[in-house]
Amino acid sequence: MAQVDLKGKTIVVTGGGSGIGRATCLALSQAGAAVVVTDINFDRAEEVYKEIQAADGPASTEAEAGQLDVRDPARCKELLDDLASRRTISGLFNCAGVNPTNMPLVDTTDDYFDLLVGVNVKGTYNMTRAIIPHLKPHTGCSIVNVSSTAGLKAGAGLAIYNLTKFGIIGFSKSMALELGPSGIRCNAVAPGPIITPTNANVVAGPESVRAQADRIALKRLGEPEEVANVVTFLFGKGASYMNGSVVEITGGL
CB 95 within 8 A of CB 15: yes
Which are the contacts of 245, defined by CB distance < 8 A and separation ≥ 6?
Answer: 187, 188
* Sequence-ordered strand ranges (E) for the chain: 10-13, 34-39, 64-67, 91-94, 142-146, 185-191, 246-249
User: Degrees (nearest 5) of the Cα angle 251, 45, 143?
Assistant: 55
Residues 46 and 166: their CA atoms lie apart, in Å, by 31
Strand segments, DSSP code E, in 127-235 are 142-146, 185-191
Is 113 strand, coil or helix? helix
Of 112, 125, 161, 241, which one is the catalytic site residue? 161
Instruction: List, in order, residues 6 or more apart from 54 with CB less than 8 Å away.
Output: none
60 within 8 A of 29, measured Cβ to Cβ: yes
Q: Which of 229, 211, 228 is nearest to 220 (CA)?
A: 211
To the query of whether residue 112 is one of the catalytic residues in this protein, the response is no
* Angstrom distances, CA of residue 183 to CA of 95, 136, 139, 176: 22, 9, 7, 9
Give the catalytic positions in this structure. Answer: 161
